């Protein structure tokens, strides 16, 4: 589970029990991957990247500077992509100025 302010994100592990991680009727298991991802804003992207690299995290991208943000995509322990981004302009942040 991940909490930030009023947001709570719950990820379900693959399981034979009923719930978000159960196998589909045809036996297909939920798998991590793709490019759908959660995005987390940070004011210190470089420090976050350094800390995650030191902890052995696997990155899908290098830090990329776009029009309004700097971002990087890292994998959580299950292989799901998580984007960390740092706004370069006020309107690109969650507070939007």
Q: Does domain 2-92 have CATH number 3.30.720.110?
A: yes
- Domain residue spans in the chain? 2-92
Global confidence as pTM: 0.73
3-class DSSP state of 43: coil
Helices (H) and strands (E) in the chain, counts: 1, 6
* pLDDT (0 to 100) of residue 51: 98
Are residues 85 and 69 in contact, defined by beta-carbon separation less than 8 angstroms? yes
* pLDDT (0 to 100) of residue 24: 75
On average, the pLDDT of the chain sits at: 85
User: pLDDT confidence of 17, banded at 50, 70, 90?
Assistant: confident
């Amino acid at each position: 589970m991940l909490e930030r302010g009023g947001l709570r994100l719950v990820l379900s592990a693959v399981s034979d029990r009923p719930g978000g991680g159960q196998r589909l009727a045809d036996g297909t298991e939920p798998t991590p991957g793709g490019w759908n991802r959660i995005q987390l804003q940070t004011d210190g992207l470089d420090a976050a990247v350094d800390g995650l690299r030191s902890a052995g995290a696997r990155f899908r991208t290098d830090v990329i500077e776009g029009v309004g943000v700097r971002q990087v995509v890292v994998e959580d322990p299950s292989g799901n992509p998580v984007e960390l981004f740092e706004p370069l302009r006020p309107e690109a942040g969650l507070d939007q100025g």
